Amino acid sequence: MCKVIAVANQKGGVGKTVTSVNLGIGLAREGKKVMIIDSDPQGSLTISLGCKEPDSLDYTLANALINIINDEPTDINKGLIHHVEGIDLMPGNIELSSLEITLTGVISRETILRQYVEKARNMYDYIILDCAPSLGMMTINALACADSVIIPCQAAYLPVKGLQQLIKTIGRVKRQLNPKLNIEGILITMVDNRTNYAKDISNQIYEVYSSSIKVFPIGIPLSVRAAEISATGNSIYVYDPKGKAAFAYKELIKEVMKNDEKSWSDSKAV
């Protein structure tokens, strides 16, 4: 049974890509078969996993989605990059920007990515979607095909202010396009535990949202080493395995898997 998780926030610089990388590779380290999809035209995830020039790739997510739009055969394995840490990457690049324009005139434009993901579901235990820092058509497509959403939110004032808009968008997608969509949880990132400011922001998130939305009990600490991994092509588990960020992401993996084991056992019981 495959679970599709979108990592989304319309605010940039909150740790979406770092979370996608370490969530996906962390699940692979637990023996799960994982695919990560880069749906951001900036290609940040693709770069972070070692491809320094995503715009020069011959086949990316944009090409696969164009095939679907044109009702042409789509090979799920085509274009996949197999990363040394045990995951498959469907890369993204700047061509996704022009695809967003193309989608405006396409029938069922919100569900084009879903058609691709549904073809891949029987091959993986988890599919992770790294979303663009916007609420554009590619992000809507990601939400329309996901089972759940993880919302990374930096422990700072402006990212927290934008949470309500994202939550409203997720609710709208759930009502109109994807009834099974749920919020997996809010993940507080870049937490500087040395400051009262970060602690106050974290407490504010718990107070406002924890009664209706899960807030993961452990936040991701501010870490220079975690910020550096984008240039290494590896995960935090390889680059800084004994650091605080690696420990926090391992705890996130436990939370995600614990939730899934419970829901899967409940579904079998029914």
91, part of any domain:
yes
6 pLDDT band (50/70/90 cuts)?
Answer: very high
How sure is the predictor about 229, in pLDDT bands with cuts at 50, 70 and 90? confident
In a domain, 22, yes or no: yes
Domain count along the chain: 1
What pairing do the DSSP bridges indicate for beta strands 81-82 and 87-90? antiparallel
Q: Please return the burial class of 97, using the count of CB atoms within 10 Å of its CB with bins 0-12, 13-18 and 19+.
A: middle
Q: Is the pLDDT of residue 153 over 80?
A: yes
In a domain, 267, yes or no: no
Given a cut of 90, is residue 261 above it in pLDDT?
Answer: no
> Quick check: 270 pLDDT over 60?
no
User: What percent of the chain lies above the pLDDT cut of 70?
Assistant: 97
- Which residues contact residue 245 at a Cβ distance below 8 angstroms, ignoring those fewer than 6 apart? 220, 221, 223, 225, 226, 236
Give me the residue label for tokens 């990212």. 159
Range of the domain at 138: 3-262
Per-residue pLDDT at 92 exceeds 90 = yes
Residue 65 has pLDDT above 80, yes or no: yes
Q: How far apart are CA 136 and CA 66, in angstroms?
A: 17
Q: Per the domain annotation, does 269 fall within a domain?
A: no
Q: What is the pLDDT of residue 145?
A: 97
CATH code, 187 = 3.40.50.300
Model confidence pLDDT, tens digit, residues 77-91? 999 999 999 999 999
Q: Other C-beta atoms within 10 Å of 268: how many?
A: 8
Q: Which of 67, 11, 59 is nearest to 38 (CA)?
A: 59
| Model confidence band, residue 157 (pLDDT cutoffs 50, 70, 90) | confident
Mean pLDDT of the chain: 91
> How much is the pLDDT for 105?
86
Q: What is the pLDDT of residue 88?
A: 98
227: Cα within 13 Å, side-chain hemisphere: 9
Split at pLDDT 50, 70, 90, the class of 264 is: low
Average confidence (pLDDT) over 215-222:
92
Tell whether 268 is covered by a domain.
Answer: no
Q: Does 13 have pLDDT greater than 90?
A: no
**Amino acid 239: pLDDT:** 93
Q: What is the mean pLDDT of residues 60-80?
A: 95
Report how far residue 103's alpha carbon sits from residue 161's, in angstroms, rounded to the nearest whole number: 29
Is the pLDDT confidence value at 269 over 60? no
| Other Cβ atoms within 10 Å of 254 Cβ, number | 13
Is residue 39 exposed (0-12), middle (13-18) or buried (19+ Cβ within 10 Å)?
buried
Pairing of strands 87-90, 126-130: unpaired
Averaged pLDDT, 36-58: 95
| Structure tokens given for 244 | 């605080």
111, part of any domain? yes
What SS3 state is found at 76?
coil
Report the pLDDT value the prediction gives residue 185, as an integer from 0 to 100.
Answer: 96
Q: Do the strands 3-7 and 126-130 form a parallel or antiparallel pair, or are they unpaired?
A: parallel
Q: Is residue 270 part of a domain?
A: no
- When pLDDT is averaged across residues 9-24 and rounded to a whole number, the result is 93
**pLDDT confidence of residue 171:** 96
